[in-house]
Amino acid sequence: MTSTTSPATSEDSTTDPATPDPAPPSRPAKTKRSKAGSAFAMFRNGKSLTGLIILGFFTLVAIFGDVLAPYEPRAQDPEAYGAQAPSMAHLLGTTNMGEDILSQLIYGTRGVLVVGFLSGIIAMIVAVLVGVTAGYVAGWKSESLSAITNVFLVLPALPLMIIVASNYESPSLFLIAAVLALTGWAWGARVLRAQTMSLRNRDFVQAARANGEKLYRIITVEMLPNLTAIIASSFVGTVTAAVLGLTTLAFIGIIPITNLNWGTILFWAQQNGAFPDAWWWYIPAGLCIALLGMALSLINFGIDEYVNPRLRSAGERARAMRKKGYKASSGVTTVANRPDLHGSTPGAPGSSVIAELHEDPLETEAEDEETISTGWPRRSS
Amino acid sequence: MNTDPLLTVSNFSVVYDVDPPVEAVSDVSFTLNRGEILGLAGESGCGKTSLAYGVQRLLKPPAVIPQGSAIFHDESGTDVDMNALSEEEMRRFRWDKASMVFQGAMSSLNPVTKIGKQLADVFTTHRPGMSRAERTRECGDLLDLVGVGRDRLKSYPHELSGGMRQRVMIAMALALKPQLMIMDEPTTALDVLVQREILQQISELRTQFGFSVVFITHDLPLLLEISDRIAIMLQGEIVELDTAANIYHHAQHEYTRKLLGSFPSLTGERGGFVYGRSDDTVAAGAVTGGATS
Amino acid sequence: MRFFLRRTAFYLFTAWAAITINFFLPRMLKGDPVNAYLAKNQGRVSPEAADSLRILFGLNTDKSLWQQYVEYWGLLLHGDLGLSFSKGLAPVTEVIAAGLPWTIGLVGIATILSFFLGTSLGAVIGWRRGSRADAIVPVATFLSTVPYFWMALIAIAVFSVSLGWFPASHAYSKGVVPNWSWDFVGDVIHHGTLPALTIVVASLGGWILGMRNMMMTVLDEDYVTVAQAKGLSPRRVLTHYASRNAVLPQLSSFALSLGFIVGGTLVMELVFSYPGVGKQLLDATNAKDYPLMQGLFLVITLAVLVANILADVAHAALDPRTRMTEA
C-alpha cells in the first residue's frame, strides 16, 4: 500500500480542485519498521524538528518542574518583597508578594501543557469520529453530521467558554480541557470529512470495497494512514488553540488561580500594576506562550510542506535558485552562457525530474474534489 | 511545399540546473518553414515539450538555455533572435508572433474569469488601441471561427465541455493572427471523435491563415496523417527529421522504426503496423500534407 | 439555485441551533440567581418583566419544557431579552444596542483592514518567492502566535503609559457626551487607534502566511503559465490570474476564523476597557447578570453567523464554480 496522501493546500478552503501527486514508481512491500518510519516522515524536515525540539524542551520542564524550580511558586520571600528586578537569588525577579517568577513559570508550564494536550486529544478523538464517519457515509447521515459540525464552528468559542467556566467554582483540569475541546473539535472534523470524502472515491478504496473488505478494515487500514498528516496537523492546531484559550481565560480571571499557568502569572501582573515597570513579571510569561505557539506552528508548517510538496520544494527551490542568480518569478527562461552545463547527463526517458517539472499529460486531469487544508485557521487572539 | 524558413533553431540546448543538472534538450537544430506543419514525436521525457517551451523561453527556473539560438524570420523581413530579447521584448513578442495551444484545457483556462475576458485581455495587452466594442466583436468572431459560438463569451470554463474548451484555447491562440502556433498535445485528453474534429479545424485554419504549426504528441500515427514533416526525438536529440511519407516508408533510424512498430494494427497480423490496409491511403494523406478524412 | 437553498437551509439550522443552545444554557447553569434576585427585588420588577425573566430562564417549571421553549421563542420574536440585573433593570436589548456599534465599528474596521493588508502583502511575497521578501515569514509566524492580550498590554505600556501618545482605555474621553461633532469623532479615533492597531498587528501574520502559501500553490497552476505565455504584464498575471484564485481559500479561512475574532475582541475590550459587547459580557459574567449574559451570547453568535453569511456570499461571488457545485 502506497502512502501517498491526498494533496492539500495549506489553508482552509472548500472548492479548489486538487491535483494528484504523480504516482510514485511501484516499490517492493515495505517492512513494518519502514512503514512506521514513513508515518513520521512529515516530521523529518527542519521546521518540524525545530518545533519538536522546543516542544520537547517545554515538556521536560513540565515533567521535571519540581526539581528545576528553585522555589515553591507561591512561596513568599520576605527579603524580595515588592516586585524586585532579576537578581542572583531570583533569576527572573519576584512578584510584589516576593514570589519567585522563574519558579512560577516552571510550574506554570505543567498547567499549560497538560490542559493543552488533554484538550487536543479529546478534540482529536471527537473530530476523527465525526469527521471520518461523515466523510465515509453518504446522504443525509453525512449531511446532518456536517450540519452539527458547522454549528459548532459558528459558535464563538470564548464567550461559550466564559459562560461555562464561570458556572463552576473550581473546575478540574479535565473539565477545562473538555470545554476547550468542545469549541475546537469542529474545525478538524470538517477538514477530515472533506479529505475522507475525496479518499473514498479513490481507486484503492473502491478496490477494497469491491473486494469485500469489512468497513472497519477499510477505515483503519486503508484510509487512516492517509489521513495521519491531517489528523496530526489538526491535533497540533487544537493544542495551539487550547494553550492560547487557556492562558486567555486565566488572564481574564475566569479560571481560578488554583490552576497555575502562564496566563495566571499575567493575571496577577495586571492586577498588581506590573505594567509598565516590572517588565520581568510580564514579559517572560508572554514570551513563553509565544514560543510554545511558535513551536507548534513550526510543526504544523512542517506537516504542511510534507503534505503539499509544492510548498516544500517551492520555497527551498526558489531560494536555491536565487543563489544561482535566477529570478523565480520570472516568466521568461534565462539564457546564459554556461559551458559547464552543456553535455550534462541527458535525461533518461521518463526521467522523473522532467516529469516532475512538466506534469505528464495523462495524469494532469484535475480531480474536482474539495481541497484539503491542514493549517489551523490564523487567529487574532 | 515551400521552403521559406520561419524559424531557424541551431544548436539549441535546455538544461535544468538542479543537482545534478539534467540536459533535457541536447544540441538540437532544425528549420521550420512558413505554413508548414511540423510534428514533434517521442515518448515521455524525450524533451519535445522542453524544446517547444524552451524555444519560446516559457520554461521556469531552474531551466536555463546554455547554448544555441532560435531565429524567428518575421514576415516583415526582420530576423528576431529570440534568445537575445529582454523580458519586456519577449512579452511583446509572445502571442503576437508565436502563440501556443496547451494541453489540458481545463487547467489552462482561468477558472474564475469568463471566457470573453480571457480572450479579451490578449487584445488589451497587445493591441491597446482597440476600443471595447472592437474587442468584443473580435473575440466573438474568434469563437465563431472555431465553432464555439459567440454566445459563449459570457460563459465560465467549467460550463464548457472538454472539446469546446480546447477550441477556446485554439481561438485564443489565433487571436493576434500569429505566424507560428505551437500545439502541445492539444487532443490527448479528448475522445476520438472530438479529436478528429479539432484536427480538421486546425488544418482548415492553417490553410486559411497560413501559419506554421509545431505539433507535439506521442501519437505518431496521428502525425503521419496531418504533418508535412516529422521530427522524432529521443533523449533530448532529434534522431530523425523527414517528410511524413518518408518516415512511414523508409524510416532511417532504429528508434523511429521501433516507434512505428509499436502502434498495434487493428487488422492484419499481430505486431504489424497498420498491416493489411492499403499503404497508399495513409501515405497519400501524409503526402498532401493535411488531414484528409 | 440549489446551492443557495442549501446554504440558506444550513444557516437557518445554525441560527435555530444557537437559539436553542441559548435556551438550554441557563437551565444547565447551577443555582437560581434569577429567583434570588426576584425575591430580593420584589417591588422593583413589574409582573410582566418578572414573567419574561422566568420564561427566559426556565423558572416556570409548572409548564412543560416544550411549552417553555415555545414561550421563549415568543419572547425572542418580540425582541424581549429580559432585563439586565447589573444595569439597573434596563432592557437587555437596550444595553446590547449601546455596546454593539462600538464593537462592530472598531473590530470590523480593524479586521477588514488587516485582511486586505495581510492578503496583499502575502500575495506579493508569494509572487516573489525566494526573494528577500521571504524574510517576513518568520516575523509573520511569530506575530501570529503571540498571545493577543500580552501584546496589547505591552502596547499600552509603551505607547500609552511611557510615550503618552494614545489614551490607554475607553472609547472616548471621560465626561464627554457622545455626539456627532468633529471633536467627538476625533476623540473616538484617538482612543480607538491603539486597540485597532493591536488587532491589526496581531492578525496580520496569519493572513500574510495564508495568502503566501496559496499564492505559491497557485503559481504552479497551468493557467498562470498560459497567462505568461500570452505575454500579459506580470502585474496583470499577479492580480487577475494568480490572486483571484488564491484569495478564495483565504475567504473561507476568514469565515472560519470569525469565531476566534470574537475571542480576540473580548480580550481587547477587557484590556482597553472598551465599551463594546465583549466588555459587557465579561462584566455581566462577573456580576452574575444572567439575562445580560444570555442575551449577549445570543447576539454575538448571530453576529458571527451573519458575518459568515457575508463571507460566503463574497466567496460565491468570486468563484463561479461554487454556484454550480456545493461545498
Q: If contacts are CB pairs under 8 Å, which of residues 19-78 in chain B contact chain A?
A: 20-24, 26-27, 43-47, 49-50, 53-54, 57-67
C-beta of residue B16 within 8 angstroms of C-beta of residue B178: no
**Which residue in chain A has the smallest CA separation from B217?**
A361
B9, B18, B22, B71, best to mutate vs chain A, most A CBs in 10 Å = B22
Enumerate the residues of chain A whose CB falls inside 8 A of the CB of residue C252: 12-14
- Domain tally, chain A: 1
B106, B110, B156, B170, best to mutate vs chain C, most C CBs in 10 Å = B110
Q: List, for residues C242-292, the tens digit of each pLDDT value.
A: 998 888 888 888 887 777 788 788 888 888 888 888 888 888 877 777 778
**DSSP line for A67-116:** HH-SS-TT---GGGTTTPPP-SSSTT-B-TT--BHHHHHHHHHHHHHHHH
> Is B290 part of any domain?
no
Where does the pLDDT of residue C195 fall: very low under 50, low under 70, confident under 90, or very high at 90 and above? Answer: confident
Q: List, for residues C209-226, the tens digit of each pLDDT value.
A: 889 888 888 888 889 989
Inter-chain CB proximity C213 and A311 less than 8 Å:
yes
> Is B112 part of any domain?
yes
Report CA-CA distances (Å) from A152 to A158, A374, B245: 12, 19, 69
Enumerate the residues of chain B whose CB falls inside 8 A of the CB of residue C227: 110
- Domain tally, chain B: 2
Alpha carbons A95 and A81: distance in angstroms, whole number: 7
Ranking A35-39, B74-78, B111-115, C240-244 by mean pLDDT, the lowest is: A35-39
State CA A42 to chain mean position distance.
Answer: 12
Alpha carbons B275 and B269: distance in angstroms, whole number: 7
- A31, pLDDT greater than 70: no
Mean pLDDT of A211-230: 80
Helices (H) and strands (E) in chain C — how many of each?
13, 0
Task: Give the chains touching C; criterion: ≥3 Cβ pairs < 8 Å.
Answer: A, B
Task: Give the chains touching B; criterion: ≥3 Cβ pairs < 8 Å.
Answer: A, C
Residue-number span of the structural domain to which A234 is assigned? 44-307
At C326 the pLDDT is: 41
At C324 the pLDDT is: 57
> By C-alpha distance, which of C139, C277, C155 is closest to C212?
C139
> Is A341 part of any domain?
no
> Is B259 part of any domain?
no
Mean pLDDT of B79-106: 87
How far apart are the CA of A90 and the nearest CA of chain B, in angstroms?
A: 53
Query: 3-state DSSP call for residue A378?
Result: coil
> Is A34 part of any domain?
no
Mean pLDDT of A13-40: 46
From the list A331, A349, A362, which residue is nearest B46 (CB)? A349
User: Would you call B109 an interface residue with chain C, using a CB distance cutoff of 8 Å?
Assistant: yes
Compute the CA torsion angle A201, A203, A205, A208 (nearest 10 deg). 140
Mean pLDDT of A203-214: 83
Enumerate the residues of chain A whose CB falls inside 8 A of the CB of residue B28: none
Mean pLDDT of A314-318: 65
From the list A332, A360, A366, which residue is nearest B44 (CB)? A360
CATH code of the domain covering residue B35: 3.40.50.300
Question: What's the sign of the alpha-carbon dihedral B78, B79, B84, B89?
Answer: positive
At C1 the pLDDT is: 63
User: Would you call A210 an interface residue with chain B, using a CB distance cutoff of 8 Å?
Assistant: no
Inter-chain CB proximity C145 and A163 less than 8 Å:
no
C-alpha cell of C254?
Answer: 476568514
Inter-chain CB proximity A322 and C131 less than 8 Å:
yes
Compute the CA torsion angle A224, A226, A232, A233 (nearest 10 deg). -130
Inter-chain CB proximity C232 and B99 less than 8 Å:
no
Which has more confidence, A149 or C86?
Answer: A149
Alpha carbons C284 and A137: distance in angstroms, whole number: 44
DSSP H or E stretch at residue A34: helix A32-39
> By C-alpha distance, which of B112, B169, B57 is closest to C241?
B112
Q: If contacts are CB pairs under 8 Å, which of residues 203-262 in chain C contact chain B?
A: 221-223, 225-233, 236, 240-241, 244-245, 248
Mean pLDDT of C23-37: 66
Report CA-CA distances (Å) from A304 to A2, A313, A367: 19, 12, 20
Alpha carbons A184 and A178: distance in angstroms, whole number: 10
A19, A321, A333, best to mutate vs chain B, most B CBs in 10 Å = A333
Q: List, for residues A151-172, the tens digit of each pLDDT value.
A: 888 777 788 777 777 777 677 7
- C23, pLDDT greater than 50: yes
> By C-alpha distance, which of A265, A278, A289 is closest to A104?
A265
Enumerate the residues of chain C whose CB falls inside 8 A of the CB of residue B159: 324
Q: Looking at the structure, tell me whether residues B129 and B159 fall in a common domain.
A: yes
At C32 the pLDDT is: 60
- C327, pLDDT greater than 80: no
> Is B293 part of any domain?
no
User: What percent of chain C is modeled with pLDDT above 90?
Assistant: 5
- C4, pLDDT greater than 80: no
How are beta strands A372-373 and B229-234 bridged, if at all?
Answer: unpaired
Q: Looking at the structure, tell me whether residues B80 and B32 fall in a common domain.
A: yes
> Is B229 part of any domain?
yes
Inter-chain CB proximity B63 and A344 less than 8 Å:
no
From the list A147, A276, A380, which residue is nearest C202 (CB)? A380
Report CA-CA distances (Å) from C319 to A271, B154, B157, C266: 49, 15, 12, 33
> Is A166 part of any domain?
yes
Ranking A182-191, A371-380, B44-53 by mean pLDDT, the lowest is: A371-380
Inter-chain CB proximity A276 and C162 less than 8 Å:
yes
Interacting residues of C320 by C-beta distance below 8 A, sequence separation 6+: B111, B112, B156, B158
Compute the CA torsion angle B238, B39, B31, B177 (nearest 10 deg). -150
Q: Looking at the structure, tell me whether residues B173 and B111 fall in a common domain.
A: yes
> Is A353 part of any domain?
no
Inter-chain CB proximity C203 and A254 less than 8 Å:
no
CATH code of the domain covering residue A268: 1.10.3720.10
From the list A147, A245, A370, which residue is nearest C10 (CB)? A147
Alpha carbons A332 and A352: distance in angstroms, whole number: 23
C-alpha cell of A321?
Answer: 535558485
Spell out a b/e string for A186-223, using b for 16 or more CB atoms within 10 Å of the CB, else e. bbbbbbbbbbbbbbbebeebeebeeeeeeeeebbeebb
Compute the CA torsion angle A76, A78, A82, A84 (nearest 10 deg). -90
Inter-chain CB proximity A355 and B26 less than 8 Å:
no
Q: List, for residues A270-302, the tens digit of each pLDDT value.
A: 888 777 677 778 888 888 888 898 899 888 888
> Is B268 part of any domain?
no
Inter-chain CB proximity B104 and A342 less than 8 Å:
no
> Is A110 part of any domain?
yes
**Which residue in chain C has the smallest CA separation from A308?**
C217
Helices (H) and strands (E) in chain A — how many of each?
14, 3
- C314, pLDDT greater than 90: no
- C236, pLDDT greater than 80: yes
Ranking A182-186, A292-296, A324-328, B188-192 by mean pLDDT, the lowest is: A324-328
Backbone angles phi, psi at A173, to 5 degrees: -55, -40
DSSP 8-state secondary structure symbol assigned to residue B123: H
Q: Looking at the structure, tell me whether residues B161 and B29 fall in a common domain.
A: no
> Is B64 part of any domain?
yes
Enumerate the residues of chain A whose CB falls inside 8 A of the CB of residue B47: 347, 354
Q: Looking at the structure, tell me whether residues B166 and B216 fall in a common domain.
A: no
DSSP H or E stretch at residue B204: helix B192-209
A10, A11, A238, A357, best to mutate vs chain C, most C CBs in 10 Å = A11
Q: Looking at the structure, tell me whether residues B113 and B87 fall in a common domain.
A: no
Alpha carbons B67 and C105: distance in angstroms, whole number: 61
How far apart are the CA of C261 and the nearest CA of chain B, in angstroms?
A: 29
Q: Looking at the structure, tell me whether residues B62 and B206 fall in a common domain.
A: yes
Where does the pLDDT of residue C12 fall: very low under 50, low under 70, confident under 90, or very high at 90 and above? Answer: confident
User: Would you call A364 an interface residue with chain B, using a CB distance cutoff of 8 Å?
Assistant: yes
Q: Looking at the structure, tell me whether residues B131 and B32 fall in a common domain.
A: no
C-beta of residue A348 within 8 angstroms of C-beta of residue C228: no
State CA A123 to chain mean position distance.
Answer: 13
At C181 the pLDDT is: 79
Q: Looking at the structure, tell me whether residues B144 and B18 fall in a common domain.
A: no
DSSP H or E stretch at residue C318: helix C290-318
At A9 the pLDDT is: 32
At B122 the pLDDT is: 92
Alpha carbons A251 and A161: distance in angstroms, whole number: 13
Task: Give the chains touching A; criterion: ≥3 Cβ pairs < 8 Å.
Answer: B, C
Compute the CA torsion angle B240, B241, B242, B248 (nearest 10 deg). 40
Residues, chain C:
327
C-beta of residue C175 within 8 angstroms of C-beta of residue A266: no
Inter-chain CB proximity B22 and A333 less than 8 Å:
no
B53, B55, B87, B112, best to mutate vs chain C, most C CBs in 10 Å = B112
For helices A140-154 and C244-272, angle between their N-to-C axes, nearest 10 degrees = 40
C13, C132, C252, best to mutate vs chain A, most A CBs in 10 Å = C252
Q: Looking at the structure, tell me whether residues B122 and B141 fall in a common domain.
A: yes
Q: What is the ipTM of this complex?
A: 0.81
At A362 the pLDDT is: 36
> Is A106 part of any domain?
yes
DSSP 8-state secondary structure symbol assigned to residue B152: G
Q: List, for residues C112-164, the tens digit of each pLDDT value.
A: 899 999 999 999 888 887 777 777 888 888 888 888 888 888 888 888 877 77
Enumerate the residues of chain C whose CB falls inside 8 A of the CB of residue B99: 229-230
User: What percent of chain A is modeled with pLDDT above 90?
Assistant: 3
DSSP H or E stretch at residue C261: helix C244-272
Ranking A45-59, A217-231, B39-53 by mean pLDDT, the lowest is: A217-231
Alpha carbons A354 and B188: distance in angstroms, whole number: 19
Please identify, among B177, B196, B214, the residue that sits at the C-terminal boundary of a domain: B177
Cis peptide leading into B62, omega within 30 of 0? yes
How far apart are the CA of A15 and the nearest CA of chain B, in angstroms?
A: 11
Q: List, for residues B140-190, the tens digit of each pLDDT value.
A: 998 988 888 889 899 998 888 888 888 899 899 989 989 999 998 888 777
Please identify, among B126, B142, B177, the residue that sits at the C-terminal boundary of a domain: B177
Q: If contacts are CB pairs under 8 Å, which of residues 1-40 in chain C contact chain A?
A: 10, 13-14, 17-18, 21, 25, 28-30
DSSP 8-state secondary structure symbol assigned to residue B179: S
Report CA-CA distances (Å) from A127 to A132, A134, A141, B232, C84: 8, 10, 16, 55, 38
Please identify, among B148, B177, B206, the residue that sits at the C-terminal boundary of a domain: B177
Inter-chain CB proximity B107 and C225 less than 8 Å:
no
Alpha carbons B152 and B138: distance in angstroms, whole number: 13
Type of residue numbered A180: L
**Which residue in chain A has the smallest CA separation from C160?**
A276
> Is A300 part of any domain?
yes
At A363 the pLDDT is: 34
At A22 the pLDDT is: 40
How far apart are the CA of B180 and the nearest CA of chain C, in angstroms?
A: 13
For helices C290-318 and C277-286, angle between their N-to-C axes, nearest 10 degrees = 150
Q: Looking at the structure, tell me whether residues B30 and B130 fall in a common domain.
A: no
Inter-chain CB proximity B45 and A351 less than 8 Å:
yes
> Is A224 part of any domain?
yes
User: Would you call C319 an interface residue with chain A, using a CB distance cutoff of 8 Å?
Assistant: yes
Report CA-CA distances (Å) from C277 to B17, C260, C269, C274, C284: 59, 15, 8, 9, 10
> Is B261 part of any domain?
no
State CA C21 to chain mean position distance.
Answer: 19
Inter-chain CB proximity A304 and C156 less than 8 Å:
no
C226, C250, C318, C323, best to mutate vs chain B, most B CBs in 10 Å = C226
- B253, pLDDT greater than 80: yes
Alpha carbons A74 and A100: distance in angstroms, whole number: 8
Give the count of beta carbons closer than 10 Å to the beta carbon of residue A156.
24
Helices (H) and strands (E) in chain B — how many of each?
11, 11
Task: Give, in degrees to the nearest 5, the angle at Cα B265 between B262 and B268.
Answer: 130
Q: List, for residues A243-266, the tens digit of each pLDDT value.
A: 888 888 888 877 776 778 888 888
User: Would you call C167 an interface residue with chain A, using a CB distance cutoff of 8 Å?
Assistant: no
C-beta of residue B126 within 8 angstroms of C-beta of residue B92: yes
C-alpha cell of A287?
Answer: 514570551
Alpha carbons B112 and A208: distance in angstroms, whole number: 37
Q: Looking at the structure, tell me whether residues B24 and B121 fall in a common domain.
A: no
Residue-number span of the structural domain to which B10 is assigned? 5-97+180-244
